[in-house]
Amino acid sequence: MVYFAFHKNVTRAVSGAAELGRNDYAPLIEVGLFLACGLLGLGLLQSLSRLKPFTSNLPNLDELGTRNFAAQAVGILLLAGIGAHFGNYFMSGMAKVTLDGGPLSWILENPTSSIMLAGYGLGAAPLGFSESLLAHAYEAVRAVQIPMNVVILAAQLLCFLAFLRRRWLIGLTAFFDIMHIGIFLLSGALFLHWIILNSLIVAALTRTKENSFSKIAIVTGIVVTIFGDAVFYNARLGWYDSRQIRQAHFEALTKQGDWVRVAPSFFRDASYLLYARHFGYQEYRRESGHVPTSAWGQIGIRKVQPKSSDVASSNYEVMKLTRECAYPVELPITPPDYDAARPAPFILGQHNRAANLANSAVAVGYNFYPHHHYSMPFLHRAFEALEPRDIVAYRYLVDTVCLDVADGKVVRRVMTQTLGPRIDVRQ
């Protein structure tokens, strides 16, 4: 787990990204290390309690070696660990109610369903094998969007109450797993590590009795859930969504002269860069001619500069404009609002790695990497059919697009584009 975090940071430094995102793995690492260190400390304490030289002059230490003490201590550790994980949900709920449009703006006005269109546009949506099915699913989710938002926000903000009953804790943890699986099926965002951790929590709790946790353990779980953010890393997944989205991607030029969109999974450990759109951008330092969203249409996840305060002076106002694809963009956008020198060494390094892996004795495909967002192969058939030797050049594109559904199909309208220079591959 520690190596995984180290590897992520090395990838971030090499790629030049401002950050690479820790939400998909950091909570699992911290909770795992916390529980492991806690159990080791408990075992050491019990071992020392049995050594007379350490306990002969100290009162009331004999009970440290008993099973009752161990059971109570393990209960406290377990609920504290669950509280550290539940803090991700609680802080995500807090992030939603503290958005600049007011505490009810996310529930009543946010187009949460648009993440399905964004996932399809990025080539990550599992339902994308049938465009009509995705379109109908989008319409269905949009119809129940406000009640769905209410249920999700209530579960996040009130998750600390689940510690009062073991069955509540099991039920809510299972609900969060179902929510993550649903998000993946609808959009393609896969919180695999969170799903694994939730499954382990349910498995651990089902092996305990209803009244096996002390009041101290219960209070500990509640306190860590609410205030654990001061110690643990907690994801704050709260932002506005949009149908007007800024998306960046690479295209590959084949020997036949065709430009083919590169599947983000091709970049393996750096694939998060292409989905999170943190690749060499300068938009956090100056205004952008594109719409100020992430590749998933997220608004407010970071402090970006709107084009002008006359256009929008808050994330809430940006959301209201982009929800209707009404945010004004530039035509054309010059100069590029990303570091134009970054794409070349990055894509050439990735290409060389892919070529070396393709020629290795044991070739492991890029789809086997545990991506946070998988590129669905059926949405990238043209690129999936290519080998590194078939590619002669690349280019980097940034689009502002308007996504919608009409006549059972997803409509992707390009509003403006920044087209990078051709990057030739050395054969």
Distance of CA 209 to the CA centre of its chain: 34
Instruction: Please write the tens of the pLDDT for every residue from 357-366.
Output: 887 766 677 8
Rounded to the nearest 10°, the torsion over CA 318, 112, 293, 408 is -110
The pLDDT of residue 231: 87
The pLDDT of residue 1: 55
- Cα Rg of the chain (Å, integer): 24
Interatomic CA distance for residues 415 and 402, integer angstroms: 7
CA distances to 42, 79, 195, 383, 407 from 72, rounded to whole Å, are 11, 11, 27, 56, 60
Continuous H helices in 292-358: 315-322, 343-358
DSSP of 11-44: HHHHHT-S----TTTHHHHHHHHHHHHHHHHHHH
Which residue type sits at 375?
S
CA distances to 140, 318, 321, 416 from 332, rounded to whole Å, are 36, 21, 20, 7
Any idea what DSSP says for residue 262?
Answer: P
Interatomic CA distance for residues 283 and 388, integer angstroms: 32
Instruction: Please write the tens of the pLDDT for every residue from 169-201.
Output: 999 999 999 999 999 999 999 988 889 889 999
Q: What percent of the chain has pLDDT over 70?
A: 79
N- to C-terminal Cα distance for the chain?
A: 37
Q: Is 247 left (phi over 0), alpha (psi -120 to 50) or beta?
A: beta
Average pLDDT score over the chain? 84
Q: What is the pTM assigned to this prediction?
A: 0.86
Residue 69 buriedness (CB in 10 A; 0-12 / 13-18 / 19+): middle
Instruction: Please write the tens of the pLDDT for every residue from 280-324.
Output: 555 445 567 888 888 888 887 765 555 666 677 789 999 999 999
